[in-house]
Amino acid sequence: NAGVTQTPKFRILKIGQSMTLQCTQDMNHNYMYWYRQDPGMGLKLIYYSVGAGITDKGEVPNGYNVSRSTTEDFPLRLELAAPSQTSVYFCASSRSGGGRTGELFFGEGSRLTVL
Amino acid sequence: AQKITQTQPGMFVQEKEAVTLDCTYDTSDPSYGLFWYKQPSSGEMIFLIYQGSYDQQNATEGRYSLNFQKARKSANLVISASQLGDSAMYFCAMRGEATDSWGKLQFGAGTQVVVTP
């Protein structure tokens, strides 16, 4: 049981480049999330999805796009990378959005550096 | 709007002692859930404990317990009998339980715990 899998684990981008962080989960969870964690800080929600075809903005969505074509996959697209997007990105999923079953299961994180 | 505050950026605790990590929150949601997560130096996020705002009893999970004081809007994590493997960053998080708040789990800034022999 792999849980939540993110790729790549590390990436260096040049300013202005674009890339996609991949996230897949095998737990048949409806909810999926993307967070970013800046050094020494807590996690901030970028986007989330309540099911295939449905996405919504979180706290810090600017500079990012997402899609959810299947239950399993929730890729995060960075367009025109900027140094401010240097961060560790976490993908997560949960069975529901509330209550005890709303516990988030996290991937291992993707460390992105924009130079 | 909701806010999570963890006022202790870091703390040291001796092995086998108990440690309390502070978390206060502010929310307008009448029903909400509180979470604690552990992040070791390896970077993964590990769920520790959940407390619903309408739960009658404080949550416990093994050596972890949540001291929930609703009137004071605090949800402190207590780790009993600390072990060296407890050294990590600990995050408090909160989410409203109304369906329009589902998915919006908000995290505090974290507390770094170092357990010494």
Distance CA(B46)–CA(B57), nearest Å, equals 23
Model confidence over B8-64: pLDDT tens digits? 999 999 999 999 999 999 998 889 999 999 999 999 999 999 999 998 899 999 999
Q: What is the pLDDT of residue B102?
A: 74
Model confidence over B65-103: pLDDT tens digits? 999 999 999 999 999 999 999 999 999 999 988 777 777
Q: What is the pLDDT of residue A98?
A: 75
> A96: pLDDT confidence band, cut at 50, 70 and 90?
confident
> A1: pLDDT confidence band, cut at 50, 70 and 90?
low
Model confidence over A71-88: pLDDT tens digits? 999 999 998 999 999 999
In this complex, which of B103, B108, B109 lies closest to A97 when CB atoms are compared?
B103
Residues with Cβ within 8 Å of B71's Cβ and at least 6 positions away in sequence, in order, are none
CB A45 within 8 A of CB A35: yes
The answer to whether B54 faces chain A, any CB pair under 8 Å, is no
Distance CA(A6)–CA(A4), nearest Å, equals 7
In this complex, which of A41, A99, A104 lies closest to B97 when CB atoms are compared?
A99
Two structure tokens written together for A65: 């796009």
A70, pLDDT greater than 70: yes
Q: What is the pLDDT of residue A29?
A: 93
User: Residue A83: helix, strand or coil by DSSP?
Assistant: helix
Q: Which of A22, A25, A62, A23 is nearest to A46 (CA)?
A: A62
The answer to whether B44 faces chain A, any CB pair under 8 Å, is yes
Q: Dihedrals φ, ψ of B54, to 5°?
A: -100, 5
Q: What share of chain A is helix, strand, coil (3-state, %, to 5)?
A: 5, 50, 45
Model confidence over A4-16: pLDDT tens digits? 999 999 999 999 9
A92, pLDDT greater than 90: yes
Interchain pair B50, A100: CB under 8 A: yes
- Relative to beta strand A43-51, strand A54-57 is antiparallel
Q: What is the mean pLDDT of residues A18-33?
A: 96
What percent of chain B shows pLDDT beyond 70? 100
Buried b (16+ CB within 10 A) or exposed e, A61-95: beebebbbeebbebbbebeebeeebbbbbbbbbbb
Q: Is B99 exposed, middle or buried (0-12, 13-18, 19+ CB in 10 A)?
A: exposed
In this complex, which of B43, B101, B108 lies closest to A109 when CB atoms are compared?
B43
A65, pLDDT greater than 90: yes
Measured CB to CB, residues of chain A less than 8 Å from chain B are: 31, 33, 35, 40-45, 48-50, 56, 58-59, 88, 90, 92, 96-100, 102-106, 108-109
Interchain pair A59, B106: CB under 8 A: yes
Q: What is the pLDDT of residue A41?
A: 85
